[in-house]
Chains A and B, each alone.
Chain A
Amino acid sequence: MNTYKEFQLSKFRFTRDDYFAHIYFPTQTGKEMEHRVDIDAFLKSLQRDVAWSFFYGMVKFDDVFGTINHYGTVEVFAGKYHKTFHQSGFWHAEELGRGEVERTFTQMLEDWVSAEFDPFAAPRETGSAVGPKRSSNIDAIHRKRVLTTRIVKQADRQEPEYPVNDGFKGMEFKYGEMHIKPGHESKFGLVNLYEYLARSDVTWNPSIVSVLEHSLFCPTTEEHRLPIKHGNDRVEWFVQLNGQIDWEVCDQKTGDLLAYVRMRPGDVCAMPSDIQHQGFAPERSMLLVWENADPKMPEKIRKGEVPGDPDKMVTMK
Chain B
Amino acid sequence: MKPAKDTPLSASMAHYSKGGVDIVDPRENLKRYVYSNVYEIGARAKPYEKIAVAKNGPYVIECVVAEGAMAQWRLQPHDEFIVCLEGEVRVDFIEPRAEIAAGAHTDVPGESMGYIIVCEGNLCLLPKGMAYKFSAGKRSLLLQQAKQSDRTIFAWETICEGWSGKG
Chain A residues engaging chain B, CB cutoff 8 angstroms: 150-152, 166-171, 173-181, 184, 187-195, 209-215, 217, 234-237, 239-244, 246, 251, 256-272, 283-286, 288, 290-292, 294, 297, 306, 309-311, 313-315
Contact residue among B8, B55, B114, B122 (Cβ-Cβ distance under 8 Å from A181):
B114
The reply on B116 being an interface residue by CB < 8 A is: yes
Contact residue among B8, B38, B39, B59 (Cβ-Cβ distance under 8 Å from A215):
B59
Chain A nearest Cβ from B71, distance in angstroms: 22
Contact residue among A166, A181, A297 (Cβ-Cβ distance under 8 Å from B112):
A181
Whether the pair B116, A268 counts as a contact (CB closer than 8 A) is no
Whether the pair A264, B118 counts as a contact (CB closer than 8 A) is no
Given contacts A260-B21, A314-B154, contact A188 B61 (CB under 8 A): no
In the assembled complex, which residues on chain A have CB atoms less than 8 Å from the CB atom of B16?
A: 264-266
A266 to B39, CA, bound (A): 6
Whether the pair A267, B35 counts as a contact (CB closer than 8 A) is yes
Residue on A nearest B29 in the bound complex, by CB: A311
Q: What are the nearest 10 A-B pairs in CB distance? A: A194-B121, A262-B19, A170-B7, A189-B125, A243-B8, A170-B6, A174-B119, A265-B11, A215-B59, A266-B39
A311 to B56, CA, bound (A): 11
Contact residue among A152, A239, A243 (Cβ-Cβ distance under 8 Å from B54):
A239
Chain A nearest Cβ from B12, distance in angstroms: 9
In the assembled complex, which residues on chain A have CB atoms less than 8 Å from the CB atom of B156?
A: 311, 314-315
Chain B residues engaging chain A, CB cutoff 8 angstroms: 3-11, 16-25, 28-40, 52-57, 59, 61, 78-81, 83-85, 88, 93, 95, 111-125, 127, 130, 143, 145-147, 154, 156, 163
Whether the pair B121, A192 counts as a contact (CB closer than 8 A) is yes
Chain B nearest Cβ from A114, distance in angstroms: 28
Chain B nearest Cβ from A34, distance in angstroms: 31
Given contacts A217-B145, A311-B31, contact A242 B10 (CB under 8 A): yes
Whether the pair A244, B39 counts as a contact (CB closer than 8 A) is no
Residue on B nearest A263 in the bound complex, by CB: B19
Chain B nearest Cβ from A221, distance in angstroms: 9
Chain B nearest Cβ from A149, distance in angstroms: 10
A309 to B17, CA, bound (A): 26
Whether the pair A272, B127 counts as a contact (CB closer than 8 A) is no
Whether the pair A265, B10 counts as a contact (CB closer than 8 A) is yes
Whether the pair B18, A267 counts as a contact (CB closer than 8 A) is yes
In the assembled complex, which residues on chain B have CB atoms less than 8 Å from the CB atom of A188?
A: 93, 113, 116, 125, 127
In the assembled complex, which residues on chain B have CB atoms less than 8 Å from the CB atom of A260?
A: 21-22, 24
Whether the pair B54, A257 counts as a contact (CB closer than 8 A) is no
Whether the pair B34, A269 counts as a contact (CB closer than 8 A) is yes
Whether the pair A266, B113 counts as a contact (CB closer than 8 A) is no
Most buried by A among B39, B56, B115: B56
Whether the pair B6, A166 counts as a contact (CB closer than 8 A) is yes
Whether the pair A264, B17 counts as a contact (CB closer than 8 A) is yes
A177 to B122, CA, bound (A): 10
In the assembled complex, which residues on chain A have CB atoms less than 8 Å from the CB atom of B119?
A: 174-176
Chain B nearest Cβ from A275, distance in angstroms: 9
Whether the pair A264, B61 counts as a contact (CB closer than 8 A) is no
In the assembled complex, which residues on chain A have CB atoms less than 8 Å from the CB atom of B54?
A: 237, 239, 268, 270, 290, 314
Residue on B nearest A198 in the bound complex, by CB: B121
In the assembled complex, which residues on chain A have CB atoms less than 8 Å from the CB atom of B125?
A: 150-151, 188-190, 210
In the assembled complex, which residues on chain A have CB atoms less than 8 Å from the CB atom of B5?
A: 166-167, 170
What are 30 of the A-B contact pairs (CB < 8 Å)? A176-B84, A181-B111, A181-B112, A181-B114, A189-B124, A190-B118, A190-B122, A210-B79, A212-B78, A212-B81, A212-B146, A212-B147, A240-B19, A242-B8, A242-B10, A256-B25, A258-B28, A259-B23, A261-B19, A261-B21, A262-B20, A263-B19, A264-B37, A265-B16, A267-B19, A267-B36, A285-B9, A290-B54, A314-B156, A315-B156
